[in-house]
């Protein structure tokens, strides 16, 4: 059992949980993830490590409410418990002094790119961060990402904050500079990462993405997270989640991400009906009781 030390609503649909997990906090590195199971009936879901504090013995997870599981997770409060947290899993992001590194974070991917930008900065790189979201009310950690970046660009689809447009536009501009950047890391929705890969392709700069396929165990046991990279089947949980963006079969990833779309919709509707008929009392968490 892992106690939730702190909960913060970063946006109405993006939440932060700081969780007691000393063994994981000791070993965590930028780019790794944990598997979380909320309660006995819960799914095992992968969540990227957004931060960790070895001294305090805690890890920080940031997630977007998308399906039933993350909606249930969002109901938890400080003092509640997560039944299982395992990690840190996956290969850490390759950090070294490359020169100039562009860190692109889209949507909830900002939480995953932030520790990488920080590590790249600490390794002596010049960090150019590009942060994007659909709208200003979905932006979070702007100051945090800015504080570890030498150059910082924020952009929204609707122009409600920062520049107006999508992340590939400023990415292209940075790539066109002379000298150009030495490495690009892009983390966000699969479609965003796919277009970052396409944008970077003509510039032959190494571009890394962090893939987010469906997982069950997260330790290499099931093969649910298999992706095709340079024509080879790889397990994202074991060999990744970071891969060379130019080698990824994006259509396969997007198709596999849709595998349970119908079931997820059914589950979310059921959960919403349950919430509507039995609303949680104010200030009380309903997560465990609903399990």
Partner 1 sequence: MPRVDTHREPMPKLEPSARRETFEEVAVGYEQATAEHEASRCILCPRQPCVGGCPVGVDIPQFVKALREKDMPAAVRILKSKNSLPGICGRVCPQESQCERQCVIGKLGAPIAIGRLERYVADWEMAHGPVAAAAPTSSQPSGKRVAVVGSGPAGLTASADLAKSGHQVTIFESLHTPGGVLAYGIPEFRLPQRIVKTEVEYVCSLGVEMRLNWVVGKTITIDEILSDGYQAVFLGTGAGLPQFLNLPGENYGGIYSSNEFLTRINLMKAYLFPSYRTPINIGQVVAVIGGGNVAMDSARCALRSGAREVYLVYRRSRTEMPAREEEIENALEEGVIFKLLTNPRKFLGNDQGQVTGMECVEMELGEPDQSGRRRPVVKPGSEFVMKVDTVVVAVGTTPHPLVPSTTPGLTVSAHGTIAADEGSGQTTRPAVWAGGDATTGSATVISAMGAGRRAAAAIDHYLRKGTGG
Positions that interact with partner 1 (CB under 8 A): 23-24, 27, 37, 41-44, 68-69, 83-89, 216-217, 219-224, 226, 228, 233, 238, 251-252, 254-256, 258-260, 263-264, 266-267, 270
Q: Is 10 helix (H, G, I), strand (E, B) or coil?
A: coil
Q: Kindly state the smallest distance separating residue 123's Cβ from partner 1, in Å.
A: 22
- 58-64 and 14-20 strand pairing: antiparallel
Q: How far apart are CA 257 and CA 255, in angstroms?
A: 5
Using the minimum distance from each CB to partner 1, give the nearer residue, 38 or 130. 38
Q: How far apart are CA 57 and CA 50, in angstroms?
A: 14
Q: How far apart are CA 265 and CA 211, in angstroms?
A: 22
Q: Kindly state the smallest distance separating residue 69's Cβ from partner 1, in Å.
A: 6
Using the minimum distance from each CB to partner 1, give the nearer residue, 32 or 100. 32
Using the minimum distance from each CB to partner 1, give the nearer residue, 11 or 224. 224
Q: Kindly state the smallest distance separating residue 65's Cβ from partner 1, in Å.
A: 15
Contact status, residue 166 vs residue 198, Cβ threshold 8 Å: no
Q: Kindly state the smallest distance separating residue 29's Cβ from partner 1, in Å.
A: 11
Using the minimum distance from each CB to partner 1, give the nearer residue, 39 or 142. 39
Using the minimum distance from each CB to partner 1, give the nearer residue, 18 or 43. 43
19 beta partners: 4, 59
Q: How far apart are CA 44 and CA 48, in angstroms?
A: 13
């Amino acid at each position: 059992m892992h106690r939730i030390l702190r909960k913060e609503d970063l946006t109405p649909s993006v939440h932060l949980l700081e969780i007691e997990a000393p063994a994981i906090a000791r070993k965590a590195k930028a780019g790794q993830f944990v598997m979380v199971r909320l309660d006995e009936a819960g799914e095992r879901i992968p969540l990227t490590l957004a931060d960790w504090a070895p001294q305090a013995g805690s890890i920080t997870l940031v997630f977007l409410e998308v399906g039933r599981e993350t909606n249930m997770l969002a109901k938890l409060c400080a003092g509640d418990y997560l039944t299982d947290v395992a990690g840190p899993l996956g290969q850490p992001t390759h950090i070294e002094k490359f020169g100039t590194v562009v860190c692109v974070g889209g949507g909830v991917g900002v939480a995953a790119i932030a520790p990488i930008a920080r590590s790249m900065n600490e390794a002596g790189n010049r960090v150019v961060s590009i942060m994007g979201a659909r709208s200003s009310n979905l932006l979070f950690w702007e100051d945090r990402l800015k504080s570890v970046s030498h150059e910082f660009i924020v952009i929204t689809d609707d122009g409600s904050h920062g520049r107006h447009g999508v992340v590939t536009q400023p990415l292209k501009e940075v790539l066109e500079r002379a000298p150009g950047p030495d490495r690009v890391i892009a983390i966000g929705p699969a479609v965003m990462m796919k277009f970052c890969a396409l944008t970077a392709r003509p510039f032959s700069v190494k571009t890394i993405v962090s893939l987010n396929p469906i997982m069950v165990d997260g330790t290499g046991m099931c093969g649910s997270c298999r992706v095709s990279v340079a024509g080879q089947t790889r397990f994202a949980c074991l060999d990744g989640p970071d891969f060379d963006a130019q080698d990824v079969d994006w259509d396969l990833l997007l198709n596999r991400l849709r595998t349970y779309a119908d079931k997820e919709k059914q589950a979310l509707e059921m959960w919403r009906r349950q919430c509507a008929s039995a609303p949680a009392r104010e200030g009380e968490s309903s997560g465990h009781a609903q399990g």
